[in-house]
Amino acid sequence: MVSNAQDHKTSKTFTGIKKISLSTSSGNCKLIKGSTNDVQVTVTDTYSTSDFKPIMEQDGGKLELKEDFERHGSYSGSSSWELIIPDNMEVRFSSGSGNFEANNMAVKISGNTGSGNYNWKSIKGESRINTGSGDISIEDFNGEIDLNTGSGDVSIAKAEGDVHANSGSGKINLAGVKGKISANVGSGNIVGKELVLTGRGNFNSGSGDVNIKLASALAYAVSISSGSGDAVLDFNGNKIDGKVIMTVNKRNGNIVAPFPFDKTEEVNDGGNENVQIRKTAQFGASDIEIKISSGSGTAEVKK
């Protein structure tokens, strides 16, 4: 950490810790992999010493870390927590606007922030993340992960394991992800490149575009849909095997595919405005369903 004359630093070492809970007002947290089984906590802050007090309390194998302010209201200053921990720790982080960084470790993480960002690299374990408006960036992840942001962007690269990602109005970028994947945005775009589905895949946007490019042939069902944007599935030269079902609104939508269809039909979900065109084509003997749909955009398959 970089210090200056106004910095205050507090450090403590704990033994026998299995779980850590850290709660900050706006303080950042950084996890660093240690070389021992001890947990080393260092807090650096620039608050007035009469305003701010870091709390560190151990109860058996649990360590509770939090920030205590002398009075209510706003403060001038900032805080940063650095935790040096062994592998396989369980960490819970909550903050109003603090960021959360972690690198090169096996750890179980749950995080909840109002507007803080998450930036992780080379993490292995189970993780659950929620932020109101922060961005989430994860690279080289192995494990199960559940991500949610109200208006931030999500970026996941080189990951293996089940992924569930949701953003209200941000965009989701997935690259080199292998697993059972679910991605949903309210009004942003979803871009998936070099994906390998080891379970069902669901990709949905309310009003943005959805573009999914595969790295291997499909062995599980997949659904790609957009309310008013384009929905595109690129097989990237991989074999098409299963039942392809493409659906758009009759009045505004468009279907594009490099093959003929076995069946074309109109489906009425109520009223002339909701008449849909549905086209289906069967490839091979597989019974998996490959669904691509758009309300008023283009539903497209690329070979």
Chain-centroid distance, C-alpha 128: 9
* pLDDT, mean over the chain: 94
- pLDDT of res. 5: 44
> 89-132 pLDDT, tens per residue?
999 999 999 999 999 999 999 999 999 999 999 999 999 999 99
Q: Which class for 96: exposed (0-12), middle (13-18), buried (19 or more C-beta within 10 A)? A: middle
45 strand-pairing partners: 8, 79
Q: According to the model, what pLDDT value does residue 152 have? A: 96
pLDDT band at 24 (very low <50, low <70, confident <90, very high): very high
Residue range 167-200, pLDDT digits in tens: 999 999 999 999 999 999 999 999 999 999 999 9
pLDDT surpassing 50 at residue 3: no
How many other C-beta atoms can be found within 10 angstroms of the C-beta atom of residue 6? 10
Q: Check pLDDT > 60 for residue 303.
A: yes
Q: Could you give the C-alpha distances from 116 to 62, 88, 134, 137, 191, in angstroms and in order? A: 24, 24, 5, 12, 23
What pLDDT shows up at residue 49? 77
Q: Structural domains in the chain?
A: 1-129 (2.160.20.120), 135-303 (no CATH)
Tens digits of residue pLDDT in 268-287: 876 667 899 999 999 999 99
pLDDT at 204: 98
pLDDT over threshold 80, residue 257: yes
pTM for this predicted structure:
0.93
Instruction: Judge contact between 22 and 93, C-beta under 8 A.
Output: yes
Q: What does the pLDDT read at residue 211?
A: 98
Cα 90 off chain centre by: 19
